[in-house]
Chain A
Amino acid sequence: MGYVEKSAKIDRTSEISRRGLLEGAAGLTFALAIPGALVMKPIAALAQGTTAPASIGAWITISPDGAMVMAIPVAEMGQGTSTGLAMVFAEEMDADWSKVSVVYPPIKPEIFGNPMFGNMMVTYGSGSVRGYWDKIRLQAAAVRNVLMQAAADHWQVPIGELHTEPSMVAHSASNRSISYGEIATFAQVPATMPTIDKSALKKMADYRILGKNTPRFDIPAKTNGSAQYAIDVQIPNMVYATVLRTPVDGGKPNHVDDTAALAVSGVLKVVPLPNSVGVVAETIEAAFKGRGALKVTWSARPADSFNSADGLKQFLDRAGKLDDKGVSYVATGDTDATFAKAAKVMTSQYSSEYVYHAQMEPMNVAATVSPSGDSAEIWIGTQGASINTGVAAAMLKTTPDKITLHQFYLGGGYGRRSPADMLPEVLPLAKAMQRPVKLIWTREQDVKSAQMRPMTGHQVEAALDAGGNVLGWRHRIVGESVVAYRVGEKALEGAKGLDGILLEGAKHEYGIPNQSIAYLRENRGIAVAAWRGIGAGYNKFVIESFIDEIAAAQNKDPIEFRLALLKDEPRAQAVIKAVAEKSGWGKPVADGHALGFSYAKVVDTYVAAVGEVSVDTKTGNVRAHKFWLALDPGIVLNPDSVLAQTEGNVIFGLSQTLKEQASISDGQVDQNNFYDYPVLRMSEMPEIDIQIIQTDNPAKGMGEASLPMVAPCIGNALFKLTGNRFRALPMSPERVKAVTGV
């Protein structure tokens, strides 16, 4: 983990700077000072008139009436973290939850950055809870300490005699108490907030906010049309734009015939851009029409001759050529010797196709650029806030503080909204127009310019002794590098050639003594990206299917077989046993149905799943009837959010298992819209039964942990139903029918 994006050079201060805190303390009412700030919940009753809300450090303001506004620096894309991290903050400072509001703060990575990602303000990699878990608790504990010290000074008693109750500091000896709101009216906030030792943080047993179902701040606005996404922004004097992008990634417009486009009523300007042609118009409908009338030829690209069907065959061929070593990711014991002397060797090849994010909000952004061209204002829903300010600053040859970024709700992220790839389009357009420009991609453009989860080919092998014990494991993964595409060749070199995104999930907890896991890089010029679950989405499919193959070859129960391999993993044992019991594993199921099992540790969360599946052998249609999951994410912030995320993971995961494939012909994505890139619909959803097993371990992200469980459950159940192994994602009706069809 811990990969960094292109603009990582900005704002990498690892400690909160003194300057930052002073700035925060000086800017007392940051929440009110940001016009158009993304306020997740209407700010409750901030003091009218007399006393302004006081800033206690950079992260919170407190009004005399006790209303608190917390700065929660994560993008909200439905994962619920803006509420979850506020719960963490409120828990540690002992706040009255009913008085808490949250706001997305200004882009000040030196204060609000995520330590897990070089202190950038970014929201990805299931890293918000993991990255901010300590940072926010320490901030909140410092705020509590300042409030207690202020009360101690006020009453002239030692701070050690004080304790807190929800939003109150109390002195038992004198039976006095005072509210946080009142303290905030006189508290002297130190220039540097006190340093709190981690050992002093609240213990799980004392939690009163965390672990309780808590309604999310963002939900009411998402039921009445008032939630603001960047695509909704209305800026005075704004014009609209769309783009026709290169059909093959990286192509440049060679020749632009804009005669017909400019003849469309309302079209103002056609602007050639680095990899696209922009059409600016008075209305969005005119911009879309103008785009349709453009005639553009594009520069040649290396990918012009690439076809994914051929490519996958080549990837798999390469996976099987053991002389081609690739880059070693895991090397334990002596794998070659173990295989040489094995009583039995099992070998299988697996694959996965390119998949598209299909986020419901097509890519969009709005911007203005100053007449001098050295400052800009950007309206965007982004997972990569500091990446966008960094890239914008670099493009305008200025500094990030000259870039004002307004964060909005994200209509789906899943990794698609991390890069700053909209800026090379919108900033030149805004500069050319000297008016605010709202740029919206058509859905077709969004599909054609998909940045996909890489296609992968795998060879996986097991070396067994005469007793069937797995002594050796070899896994060779072939695919394009997301890190090289996204961050650059240097970043991949810096990671010793190992792509952390593509390789995510390739390690497992099965206690196999001799292991060799290798990455064999391809470079075909296709746009690849992080996609919900990243590498675990296919790597766990490979591992969990192949473990099932090994168990089946020995006529062993797949759960018993795994439990034996995981004997030193108590948290894994607990989730596996729980889901086995809940699902009635081993008991008879309905005629024509079968259960499939999978287990994995994904982003530090332990998950076990059982899926009940049937198949129509004539059509090849696979039906998932029910999923049971048991998961241990450590400390649970908001249980209902964990359930919601897990439900979404099962549905998203089922969609990629059964339906999703973006194919490439001559370097171009073949698909266009939801009619040829179908995603799962309501009639296809399974019943979902989730058991959360909370343990006293650091809290983890839940936004993608369960997605990888689905494909192996389906494949393993299909094996029971048909006697055939399904080793290629997606298990589309065509592929299933090819095996089962009569």
Chain B
Amino acid sequence: MAITFTVNNKPANVDAGPDTPLLWVVREHLKLTGTKYGCGAGMCGACTVHLDGRAVRSCQTPVSMVAGKNVTTIEGLSANSDHPLQKAWVDLQVPQCGYCQSGQIMQAAALLASNKNPSRDDIVRHMDGNICRCGTYPRILRAVERAAKQGV
């Protein structure tokens, strides 16, 4: 079936089964491959995108649910990769393999959008659903703190 929604402020019209995970629609139908497949079970956070500004797991979101809504992926987070989180991520050399980092950044961006001055505990609680197998957690934490300090 045809489903219409907005991705990164552009209209999207895709033909996919209503139960198709948004993840595959974004990655393979729309070719926005920054959003990653990690577990398909909502356990790792690699597929995190924003749905009307809220962080959701795109692997657990049927595309039928996003009809008429606004989806933001890592590609649409900022115009020039200059979101304070992205800058902090580069400054602190956060990524290793990098595969989880789109999800980490999108998860963190949703936090800073609603809480300009999160405590360390706030950050850890908010980020705990996002796995980084390489073990970049210490740098993710510092980068979120830095971005918060510099203002979003």
Contact = CB atoms under 8 A, between A and B. Distances in A.
Nearest to A641: B93
A443 B38 contact: yes
Interface in B22-69: 24, 27-29, 31-41, 43-44, 46
The interface size bin for chain A is: 35 or more
A337 interface: no
Most chain B beta carbons < 10 A, residue from A218, A414, A647: A647
A617 interface: no
A89 interface: no
Interface in A389-432: 409-414
A682 interface: yes
B6 interface: no
A39 B120 CA distance: 37
Contacts of A216: 93
A679 B39 contact: no
A265 B17 contact: yes
B46 to A, nearest CB: 6
A680 B132 CA distance: 8
B34 A224 contact: yes
A557 to B, nearest CB: 30
Contacts of B133: 358-360, 412, 414, 652, 679
B96 interface: yes
Interface residues of B, number: 59
Interface in A332-376: 358-362
A133 to B, nearest CB: 22
A488 to B, nearest CB: 29
A644 B97 contact: no
Contacts of B125: 683
Contact of B96 (A79, A224, A358, A674): A79
B98 A647 contact: no
Nearest to B19: A285
Most chain A beta carbons < 10 A, residue from B46, B81, B102, B137: B137
B41 A443 contact: yes
A222 to B, nearest CB: 3
B3 interface: no
Contact of B93 (A219, A231, A414, A651): A219
A283 B100 contact: no
A687 B136 CA distance: 12
Nearest to A240: B28
Nearest to B105: A223
A263 to B, nearest CB: 14
Contacts of A411: 36, 97-99
B95 A219 contact: yes
Contact of A682 (B77, B90, B99, B124): B124
B124 to A, nearest CB: 5
Nearest to A647: B138
B131 A285 contact: no
26 contacts: A78-B98, A215-B90, A219-B93, A220-B90, A222-B98, A223-B95, A228-B33, A229-B36, A234-B31, A240-B28, A283-B24, A285-B24, A359-B133, A360-B36, A360-B38, A411-B98, A641-B93, A644-B96, A673-B39, A674-B44, A679-B131, A680-B135, A681-B129, A681-B131, A682-B137, A683-B124
Given A222-B98, A681-B128, A681-B129, 19 more contacts: A78-B96, A215-B93, A219-B93, A223-B105, A283-B29, A284-B24, A285-B17, A360-B36, A360-B132, A362-B38, A443-B38, A641-B93, A650-B135, A673-B40, A675-B41, A679-B133, A682-B124, A683-B128, A688-B138
Q: 5 tightest CB-CB pairs across the interface, nearest first?
A: A225-B34, A78-B96, A651-B135, A411-B99, A222-B98
